[in-house]
Amino acid sequence: MIKRTLGNSDITVAPLAFGGNVFGWTVDEQQSFTLLDAFVEQGFNFIDTANSYSRWVPGNKGGESETIIGNWVKSRNNRDKVIIATKVGSAMNSTSDIKDISRAAILREVEGSLKRLQTDYIDLYQTHWDDNITPVEETLEAYAQLIQQGKVRIIGASNLSPKRLQDSLDASERSELPRYQTFQPGYNLYSRKEFETGTQRICVENNISVITYYSLASGFLTGKYRSEADLNKSQRGGGIKQYLNERGFRILKALDEVAAQTNSKPAQVSLAWLLAQPGICAPIASATTLEQLNDLTASVDLQLSSQQLNLLNQASVY
């Protein structure tokens, strides 16, 4: 497996990240350990989480995903074998939607993440959501302090507008501040337009590694959901209804066709398509069972032909 470098850093990752949003939500700690063990045994090393993950679960307070990952790393004594990415900026309270990437918030929240992860450093620390208020220089200065202190290795961003991402890159160069080495957009075979017409060009031109979330459109691109009758197949089924339309069914048909040609599955084809797109480094995908995990990890070995990529592009045209 060929690993990929995150931006201009010295950090290399396998081309698939395990999405830790399911930890403490749809999988408990024991099953999380089982999945993470299998993931690294197959040669993968990249785990993505956030301080606010699982805050939406009744009884949770946020941080449960980080806590589970931290417990796993401690029990396996493998901190130097994995690349941990987490985020800051989202509210920890499930009833709040306040975003905050001020210097004070970043310096406060990093301590909680480090404690929950039971580590001295975070490999990739990411701006989760923009508050559209804090000057980009203030955010980057906070990261500079954390990097200087050895608490963070590199930084990345998620969900920034093209302007705020470009402003951040300009500020990094102008003021010699840390530079975002990665960018995390919601991007998949169905949801293409926003990224492709917005931040993709900036990422490619500036060698910013793209780590996609919603890589399988909440499971729609696995082919498991074909009608509204399928929406109760998982706790995430409610978010699938938006894809059950003419375009969505056209995409599923193309996925089925390519999967048959390659003796693979729609989820594998969907991830292989992502890996073939400009700037994409490592899609993020979640699994709740070993069977699902094995389907996902097989995607990195799937090479799609130009004809197959064109078929998928035409089916998902916007």
Check pLDDT > 80 for residue 209. yes
Task: Supply the pLDDT for residue 1.
Answer: 87
Q: Is 137 part of any domain?
A: yes
Alpha helices in the chain (DSSP H): 29-41, 64-76, 103-117, 136-148, 162-175, 193-196, 200-205, 246-262, 266-275, 290-297, 306-315
Structural domain includes residue 60: yes
What pLDDT shows up at residue 112? 97
**pLDDT per position as a tens digit, 45-58:** 999 999 999 988 98
The reported pLDDT for the residue numbered 94 is 73
Phi and psi at residue 246, in whole multiples of 5°?
-55, -45
Active site residues: 53
Task: Print the domain residue range for 137.
Answer: 4-184
Region 288-311: mean pLDDT is 97
Closest residue by Cα to residue 216 from 157, 283, 304? 283
**Which residues are CB-contacts of 270 (< 8 A; sequence separation ≥ 6)?**
188, 189, 215, 216, 221, 222, 255, 299
Q: Can you tell me the distance from the alpha carbon of 266 to that of 252, in angstroms, rounded to the nearest whole number?
A: 8
Q: Is pLDDT larger for residue 148 or for residue 227?
A: 148
For residue 144, tell me if it sits in a domain: yes
Number of domains in the chain: 1
Q: Is residue 76 domain-resident?
A: yes
Q: What is the mean pLDDT of the chain?
A: 95
**Does residue 91 surpass a pLDDT of 90?**
no
- Residue 41 domain flag: yes
Residue 240's nearest CA partner among 190, 187, 181 is 190
Contacts of 203 (CB under 8 A, 6+ apart): 183, 209, 210, 279
Residue 164 belongs to domain with CATH number? 3.20.20.100
**pLDDT of 221 above 70:** yes
**Confidence band (pLDDT; 50, 70, 90) for 43?**
very high
pLDDT of residue 233: 66
Using CA atoms, how far apart are residues 267 and 94, in angstroms rounded to an integer? Answer: 30
Q: Reply yes or no on whether the pLDDT at 189 is more than 70.
A: yes
Domain-embedded: residue 44: yes
**Under a CB-based contact definition with an 8 Å cutoff, are residues 123 and 81 in contact?**
no
pLDDT at residue number 138:
98
**Domain presence at residue 20:** yes
Residue 255 included in any domain: no
Separation CA 259–CA 147 (nearest Å): 44
Strands in 152-158's sheet, in edge-to-edge order, are: 209-210, 180-184, 152-158, 122-127, 83-88, 46-48, 17-19, 284-285
Percent of the chain with pLDDT over 90: 89
